Chain A
Amino acid sequence: MFLRGARNAIISNMISKDEVEKLALLSRLKLSHEEKDLFARNLEEIVEYISHIEHVSSKDLSNSKGTVGKIFNILRPDENPHQSGIHTEELVSVAPDREGDWIKVKKIL
């Protein structure tokens, strides 16, 4: 019954509107009040479903972090650079705001 099972589960109050607000702040997303309510309800259901993996006991799992940590970066040697500036215009031209060959942003500090 993997298709319907989750819907019969009792939905616990796991994700609050405050928590959604905090997550939205961390991920730099503006949400309206209605959206915060909606996302809190949606997330509660989704988290209920994904919590299905809790049933897997850590005994069954060979290591605690799976493939994380086994993955490594493949690096290339830093050589044969292209001629400086040849891509500047095509890259800067798509930026919303520029000043000369620079991308312009508001002051940070």
Chain B
Amino acid sequence: MIETDNLTISSAARHLKNGDFSATELADTYLKRISEQNGELNAFLEIFDDVKNQAAAAQKKIEAGEATTLTGIPLAIKDNILIKGRRASAASKILEGYKASYDAAVIEKLNKGGVVYLGRANMDEFAMGSSTENSAFGPVKNPHDSSRVSGGSSGGSAVAVSAGLALAGLGSDTGGSIRQPASFCGVVGLKTTYGRVSRHGLIAMGSSLDQIGPLAKTVTDAEIIYKAISGRDPRDSTSISEDTYSVGVKKSPIIGIPRQVTEEKGLDSAVLKNFKDSLEKLKGLGYKMKDIGVPDPKDALATYYIIMPAEVSSNMARYDGVRFGLHKDGKDLIDDYFLTRGEGLGDEVRRRIILGTYVLSTGYADEYYYKANSLRSKMRADYAKLFDDVDIIITPTAPTPAFKIGEKTKDPLEMYLADIFTVTANVLGTPALSVPSGFAETEDKKLPLGLQFMAPMGGEEALFEIGKKFLGE
């Protein structure tokens, strides 16, 4: 078996090219690790039965000298990204039996590289959640402490990477769903600039917020996947071109530290200490720091929890039990809708549909939905001004380390607060990167913590630069 602890995409690609091991051996190694650990961790909902064939095809490519860095690399794909002919459930019962009739744009791109898809990664149902406890197929467990959550909604992909069940993974991020589980599991997670990666073939949640991005062990690996999946796609009308935003990478970028973070009294003490240690580390690396005041983070979270459910309530209307997925038979057509949606959709999904219907309804839309949208415009203007003075804004990725399974499931609002530092990037559309920054020691376990770098629109390169320096890559 291949030693996977220190294996990365870049090193595996080198070994594959040198013939140190084959793509088939690499896939076998991961399949074995999955069979040993997935029963406990529940990171994958399905392991594809053709992994060996995929690996053999990749090996042929390598031997023919046609390999790219991604050829033969075993990946975990979040269950809301369509791969033609394979099941896709978004971890929901309502998509029971659904098979994708086309490839997502990101999958088309990865296919060209000859990657190996290991399976469908578990997630919160329709990506709605911050702990992966909302999966209709059971929660994902954190490999650092199996009594704790993985974070979410891309918890399956984060755990797969963290526990060495995949070399990297794809997730989607609507309010922190890549970065927060990356932080909880000690891996790297990137939310890309809005429009950078096509969402064609991504099961939609909040369409003005959703982005696909990588989860990986290193920033270098995240960058490799980012380069492979990004690019303009006419099938996603929000998709942008290479030159939509012109941002260069500065030689000595200035880091902005929001004083709201360092002064926040509700912040977990281990998170605050780790954040301050990370600032020292960055100072030691020669970065200049600037104390800044950002718009109240509560503005961002409140705006997010208005706009997102509004979009959810609209996007979820397509699940009617007529064209695909689950169908529950009632006395007439409308009764079919009620029964199918009532039984097929979980608590959190129905809660958000109802909340979204509320904020969009006559009499409330002015107070909530339209006001949230104008606040969103104001936040964009405010942050654009901040980015005149600083190049990167840093915060902890999440206000706490991974919490206990079941700790917040009874209290949806408490769960929403887990997104406090991550939602801003989605509301603005800016890219943000979470990197592992150390551990919080609780009981007898060491729980990973993450540091979040946010750049202006189109600023991914600057994020990779600082992320690599921070991790010593």
Which A residues have a C-beta under 8 Å from some C-beta of B? 1-7, 15, 19-20, 23-24, 26-31, 35, 39, 42-43, 45-47, 49-54, 56, 60-68, 73-74, 76, 87, 90-91, 94-97, 103, 105-108
**Bound state CA distance, A105 and B329, in angstroms?**
10
| A53, chain B: closest CB distance, angstroms | 5
A27 CA / B284 CA spacing, docked (Å)? 54
Are the CB atoms of B361 and A26 closer together than 8 Å?
Answer: yes
- Whether A46 contacts B341 in the complex (CB less than 8 A), given A56-B375, A60-B378, A61-B375, comes out as no
> Which of A39, A46, A65 is in CB contact (< 8 Å) with B370?
A65
Could you give, for residues 232-254 of chain B, a 1 whenever the CB lies within 8 Å of some chain A CB and a 0 otherwise?
00100100000000000000000
Q: Tell whether, in the assembled complex, residue B353 and residue A3 are in contact, meaning their CB atoms are under 8 Å apart.
A: no
Closest to A44 in B: B413
Whether the pair A30, B343 counts as a contact (CB closer than 8 A) is yes
B313 touches A65 (CB 8 A): no
In the docked arrangement, what's the CA distance between A52 and B260, Å? Answer: 17
Minimum distance in angstroms from B368 CB to a CB of chain A: 7
- Residue positions of B touching A, CB distance < 8 A: 97-99, 101, 234, 237, 260, 264-267, 296-299, 301-303, 305-306, 313, 317, 320-327, 332-334, 336-339, 341-343, 345, 347, 350-351, 353-355, 357-359, 361, 366-378, 381, 399, 412-413, 416-417, 420
Q: Contacts A56-B371, A62-B374, A66-B375 given; 15 further ones with Cβ under 8 A?
A: A2-B264, A6-B413, A43-B355, A46-B416, A49-B416, A50-B305, A53-B299, A53-B302, A61-B371, A94-B323, A95-B323, A96-B321, A96-B322, A96-B326, A96-B327
A43-B358, A49-B413 known; A97 and B377 CB under 8 Å? no
Residue of A nearest to B235 (CB): A76
Pair B351/A50 contact, Cβ less than 8 Å: no
Interfacial chain A residues near B351, Cβ < 8 Å: 39, 42-43
Complex partner residue of B354 from A7, A27, A63, A108, CB under 8 angstroms: A27
